[in-house]
């Protein structure tokens, strides 16, 4: 609980905000063994800076000592993203 109480203060300086947190997951395909937390940042630089920040590093043990999970940083899709453009590039081999 202390981790949850303290994490928002570590996010604020980096523009981080919870997009998904503490809601049920409905599995439609495959297997999902747990929950999902999704935090959005303005960009990868802010996400990396937050994770590496002394404030977040100080509370990591509060999470890892009690739960197991993976943390990944993923670049989001740009505004106006159209998967058809990617499909065309894949078709043409470029």
Q: What's residue 33's pLDDT?
A: 83
> Cα dist. 55→7, 33, 42, 47, 80 in Å?
9, 29, 19, 13, 34
Q: What's residue 94's pLDDT?
A: 76
Q: How far apart are CA 71 and CA 34, in angstroms?
A: 14
Q: What's residue 7's pLDDT?
A: 97
Q: What's residue 37's pLDDT?
A: 95
Which H/E stretch holds residue 65? Answer: none
Residues of the chain with pLDDT under 50: none
3-class DSSP assignment, residue 1: coil
Q: How far apart are CA 13 and CA 50, in angstroms?
A: 8
Q: What's residue 91's pLDDT?
A: 94
């Amino acid at each position: 609980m202390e981790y949850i109480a303290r994490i928002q203060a570590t996010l604020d300086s980096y523009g981080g905000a919870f997009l998904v947190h503490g809601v049920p997951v409905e599995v439609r395909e495959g297997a999902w063994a747990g929950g999902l937390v999704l935090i959005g940042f303005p960009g990868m630089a802010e996400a990396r800076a937050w994770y590496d920040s002394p404030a977040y590093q100080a509370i990591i043990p509060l999470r890892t000592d009690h739960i197991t999970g993976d943390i990944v940083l993923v670049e989001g899709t740009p505004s106006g993203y159209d998967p058809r453009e990617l499909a065309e590039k894949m078709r043409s081999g470029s």
